[in-house]
Every structure is written in C-alpha cells, then in structure tokens.
Amino acid sequence: MADKDDLGRRGEDETAAYLTALGWRIVDRNWRCASGEIDIVALDGGELVIVEVKTRRGRGYGHPLEAVDPRKLTRLCVLAGAWRRAHRGVRARTTRIDLVGVLLPRHEEPTFDHLRAAA
C-alpha cells in the first residue's frame, strides 16, 4: 500500500476516534458506490453527517481543507443522496456535510480542524 494511502487511512482512524469522543455514533466507513467514496458516515444526535477527511503531514502544501474545492463539495452532496437512498432504514431528521482536516506530524499528536456544515 502506498505511503499516502496509509497516511489517509490513519487520518480517518484518528478522526473516527475524535468523533466518537465527541459523542457521535459512527454509522459507516469507506462506503463506495459508482460516484465515489464516503470516508465516514456518523450520527450527531438526530442529524446524519457525511464526513470528508483530509490528512496532511504538515502545512508545507497548504491547509488540508484547501484541497476540498467546489467540485469535490458537489460530489459529496451527490454521494450523501446516494447513501440515503441505499440506506432507507437509517432514520435521521437532516443530513449535513462536515470536513475534517487532520495534521499528522511524525511523532506528534494529531490536530483536527473541523469545519461543520461546509455545504
């Protein structure tokens, strides 16, 4: 497995732990369909949250969330709809999309930048 995929995987694991610590329930991870992949699906109380995780070693290539452009946000909206259609049994009042930027410097604790309701 490529180094970058490994990093992304670790970022997602850390984020899942962070969200659980917030009191959220993780519903699904790495869900795939024809349009792409959702990193994490979670329930924040009665609200369904589609979470996109971006992980970086450091800020040398900019802020992690800068990598999420309008096109990516649109795709996340499409994926959110697809996930709801595929899981009609899951009851939630509303759906929203959150972005989490994770900084994972070597030998240091991760830091999270959590942007709620990005779209």
Partner 1 sequence: MSAVAPAVPSSPMSTSRASAVALEGLTGRIVEIEAALTNQTPGLKLVGLPDTALREAQARVRSAVEHSGFEMPGRHLTVNLSPAAVPKHGSGFDLGIAVAVLGTTGMIQPESVGDTVFLGELGLDGRVRPVPGVLPAVRAAARAGRSRIVVPSGSEVEASLVDGIQVIGVPSLRTLAIRFGADLDAVDVDPVPGPPVLRERRSDSDLAEIVGNAEAIEALVVAAAGGHHLLMLGPPGAGKTMLATRLPGLLPDLTGDAALDATCIASLAGHGVDRIRSRPPWQAPHHTATAASIIGGGSGRIRPGAVTRASGGVLFLDEAPEFAPAVLDSLRQPLESGRVSVHRAAARADFPARFQLVLAANPCPCGQWGTTDGTCVCAPSARQRYLGRLSGPLLDRIDIRLRVDRVTAAQLRLAQEDGPRVTTAAARERVLAARDRAAFRLVGTPWSINAQVPGSWLRHPDREPAERARESLEAALERNLISLRGHDRVLRLAWTLADLAGIDRPGRSEVGRALALRSPDA
Which listed range, 6-14, 33-41, 55-63, 77-85, lies at the site for partner 1 (CB under 8 A)?
55-63
Tokens coding 64: 């992690």
User: What length does the chain have?
Assistant: 119
Does the footprint of partner 1 cover residue 66 (CB under 8 A)?
Answer: yes
Asked if 44 touches partner 1 (CB under 8 A), the answer is no
The two structure tokens encoding residue 22: 């917030």
What angle is formed at CA 9 by the lines to CA 8 and CA 10, rounded to 5 degrees? 90
Q: Mark the segment that binds partner 1 (CB under 8 A) among 27-35, 42-50, 65-73, 79-87.
A: 65-73
Angle at the Cα of 14 (from 7 to 52), degrees rounded to 5? 75
Nearest to partner 1 of 4, 63 (CB atom): 63
Burial class (CB in 10 A: 0-12, 13-18, 19+), 52: buried
Name the segment binding partner 1 (CB under 8 A); options: 33-41, 43-51, 83-91, 99-107.
99-107
Residues that bind partner 1 (CB under 8 A): 59, 62-63, 65-66, 68-69, 73, 99, 101, 103, 111-118
